[in-house]
Amino acid sequence: MIIIGDRHYRASAGESVTFQLGASSHVGSVAASVNNGPGGALPITVVGSGHNKVVVTVGFTGSQDGSADILISGSAVSSSTDDSRIRQLTRLSFRSGIFIID
């Protein structure tokens, strides 16, 4: 997996890219969907082959100061790793982050 932009990655055909929850604050639940398919809990793994869109939605327990670190890693030996923080906007109970894998 190669990082090519903010929340944008390139994976080799057949390479597994895993999304998992890292450090979090005021988080009630985290769910992910791939290519607008049914959602599931993290960790979630996507196989590199074509264009994939992963949407991670975080539900917060408070009205402010919530955040969740999403850790992204590839299965290839030369893969990069990345983390992306999804921060709560004041008084919103959930927020989503969109990740692209080409």
d(CA 32, CA 11): 19
Q: Are 18 and 72 in contact (CB under 8 A)?
A: yes
> What does the domain layout of the chain look like in residue ranges?
2-101
Of 34, 32, 38, whose CA–CA distance to 20 is shortest? Answer: 32
On the question of pLDDT at 97 being above 80, the answer is: yes
Average pLDDT over residues 36-52: 87
Pairing relationship of beta strands 94-101 and 8-10 according to DSSP bridges: parallel
Task: Please give the structure tokens belonging to residue 47.
Answer: 């196989």
Query: In what side-by-side order are the strands of the sheet with 44-47?
Result: 44-47, 16-25, 67-74, 81-87
Mean pLDDT, the chain, rounded, equals 92
pTM comes to 0.91
